[in-house]
Structure 1
Amino acid sequence: MSVNIDYDRCRGCEFCYRECPADVFTWDKEKDLPIIARQNECWHCGICVLECPEDAMLHTLPPQCWNDTNKRFLANIGGKKSP
């Protein structure tokens, strides 16, 4: 599982930090930005990606989480990022 933050886009809105049900993020008070502190605790729910108004979150599922439908979908979109 990989969750990444594009800090060039992140504006520190706190949505990912507040909404994550797995409590993956901590808050850097000096920089006023989220930090991914517990990557291995991620539930792969994608809430952080959906809630981010700046599209600063990148969420990648490991292959063991993919089912045949997801594999076909990913093959069809060719790795394009959604708007």
Structure 2
Amino acid sequence: MPIVIDPKICREGCTICDYFCPGDIIYRISPKESPVVKYQDECWYCGICADNCPVDAITIVFPENMVNCQTDVRTLMGLPAQNVSRS
């Protein structure tokens, strides 16, 4: 489960996470209920929802294969690797 929203912390009536989510996967059914994540598998792990939550009610849980990535980001983007000397 990539996004965890703590209903005890989440503010009633707030729709900031729903508004900011670029994947449109967070949805608030009613102002009195905590938001739900409609499509967990489609989370982009961008963190915009958590970054904009005014009460820090959202936690992003990254999959193990994402956390342990050892590949240089430039390589993942299809760019030539930077020539960096390590001492």
Q: What TM-score comes out, normalization by structure 2 length? A: 0.69
Identity between Structure 1 and Structure 2 (%): 38
**Cα deviation digits, residues 7-41 of structure 1 (max 9, x gap):** 10000321110000011111212634311111111
Give yes or no for the alignment of 1:28 onto 2:29: yes
Structure number with higher strand proportion: 1
Q: CA RMSD in A?
A: 1.9
| Partner residue, 1:45 | 46
| Partner residue, 1:6 | 6
Give yes or no for the alignment of 1:56 onto 2:52: no
User: Unpaired segments of 5 or more residues in structure 2?
Assistant: 71-87
| Partner residue, 2:66 | 65
User: Unpaired segments of 5 or more residues in structure 1?
Assistant: 69-83
User: Larger Cα Rg: Structure 1 or Structure 2?
Assistant: 2
Between the two proteins, the alignment pairs up a number of residues equal to: 69
Answer 1 or 2: higher relative contact order, Cα 8 Å, separation at least 6. 1
CA distance in 2, matches of 1:32, 1:8: 11
Q: What TM-score comes out, normalization by structure 1 length? A: 0.72
